[in-house]
Structure 1
Amino acid sequence: MKKIGVLTSGGDAPGMNAAVRAVVRKAIFEGLEVAGIFNGYEGLIHGKIEMLQLGSVGDIIQRGGTMLRSARSSEFMTEEGRLKAKRQLKSHGIEGLVVIGGDGSFRGAAELVKLGVPCACVPATIDNDINGTQFTIGFDSALNTVIDAIDKIRDTATSHERTFIIEVMGRDAGDLALWAGLAGGAETILIPEVKFDLNEIITRLQSGSGRGKKHSIIIVAEGVMSATALSETLKAEAGIETRVSVLGHIQRGGSPSAKDRVIASQYGARAVEVLHEGRSGVAIGMQNHTVVDYDLDVVFKRSEDKLDKELYKLSKELSI
């Protein structure tokens, strides 16, 4: 193998640039050429490909977002679109591909693998919802952004003696809500993996008020319900007044944390090694503080085991 490509796809996550940097510099260290593919799979189909040098990735490790940019591609979801992508790779002499992204990006890579394109996948999503790895790139940065917001909102909640509902990202996975809720001292955490009991929430709020508690914080993942809907429900069912904050896309932006920069560097470098070893259909991740690689099929085997049940249990115990 003499030349590899790298692309970022799906939602952006802090640390993607650090991963791109690692791929480029590790590849050059190993004597490989590297092509940057812009705008994800859409850009691949349309040949938005440029050769990258050491200087191309200078001064990006601290930047959020992705220098290669990202885009959704409906065309890539068709067989003809994927065949176009394969032809572009061949015409540019690209013999292997590093895909940096989340579940949808990995599924795209799996389709290319079926067409004979060697792929190594690097998990980058703030949702931390990729099977086979404890941490994805961007999760820690987003978590710190959410915690910073919780701390600021708590100041106002205390001053005005109010209950605040904070909506965070997490369509199918509750890691961001769970970790942020525990770290931010939230009284209630609602995540997609666990059905919630409205009466329990009401009892918890009323009990706290009864013992003189002046404020409460509720964290709700967007996949459970909107913060506004929850606020209206609490008002209708128990007459409880709340205020709502939807954090939205600020969770995706900003400079990556030190942890995300480190794991992005590790994951990106390992992806290059995997391709250089002649392997394909591989995902990179972390288990027990060690970088690992595993079959891409593992990613698509959904299970409830991804949720840290002990962490969720602890959050309930500490929020009495």
Structure 2
Amino acid sequence: MADHRTRLQTLIKPLLRGVLLKVHPDFFAHEPAAKRINQASVQRLQDLLAPVLRQPTGPRAHESLSRSRELTATPLQFTFHAPNGSLQPVSFAFTAGATHCLDAQQLCTQRSLDLVRLCDALGVKTAPDTVQEITDTAASLGAQKRRQNSGSGTTSQAITDLRAARAREARAKYTHANAKGPDPVHAALMGHLRRNGGNDSVLAQRDAKHAVLRLNRTKVFFADSVNPETYRYTVTRIENELHDLEYNRWHSLPLMVVDCWESAFRGGSTRYPGFVVLPCEFDTKVLEFLRYLHTNLEGIRQAREERVAQWMSESRRKQQGT
């Protein structure tokens, strides 16, 4: 993978340099509108090419690739000087679609091909040998991927089925582990709801394992590090996976969506006491989330109760003070 990325870096750096010579905002000091448009798009262009130009390392490596894929949601907007001196606008979209299924090598190659297309759109000259090598690399990786899928029988549907089977297995294990008795915190919560006018049949239906689950969006929060452009998409994905995430066990608790697990914890303690924590890229981490839930759910509820009690106490003090 390192050799592949290094070679692509060598190939695309001259192309990127040619693009920047056309649209870099510093060349539009006397055209404020064009400068503003190009400044935003140049930054997004660099983010899109980050998987090729920079080696993602550390616990945030997967998130950096995911962030790059999300940047394809809207086209880039550029303004450049045409040969006659007039300002020429260009709208260019990097390849979107099924990029979430690409591995790191394919993603780097696809980004390089998109840069070649951007050069054509801006009239930037490209060396035929460079374009041919990038194209050949893409074709080679595509053939290799097809051979791997054909040999192993691995398909997107097979991967989805495997994840679902693992989630069912995890739920069965946790159900068996909890069969010794009801969760005392959960029982106390149900008792509190009934004492305050809750209807038994409604509560039973809400708590049923296979009941129709609906996400309470008013209890969904996002950490500052999460890209706001992904909020709606992330909420939709969560709503589609409520059963696998065992939402019926923690529907009364607020949810904090973070960019990755590591950003949610400081040492051994959570940065968000009283919140259920879920990473944006939870699709491949369902079992990890269920283990986290099994270990920490009681502590989360207790922390939430303590916070609610603290807020109520502070509210009473303020009312008494007035």
- The structure that is helix-richer by fraction is 2
Task: Find the structure with the greater CA-based Rg.
Answer: 2
- Tell me, yes or no, whether TM beats 0.5: no
> Could you say which TM-score interval applies, normalised by the shorter chain?
under 0.3
Please identify which structure carries the higher strand content: 1
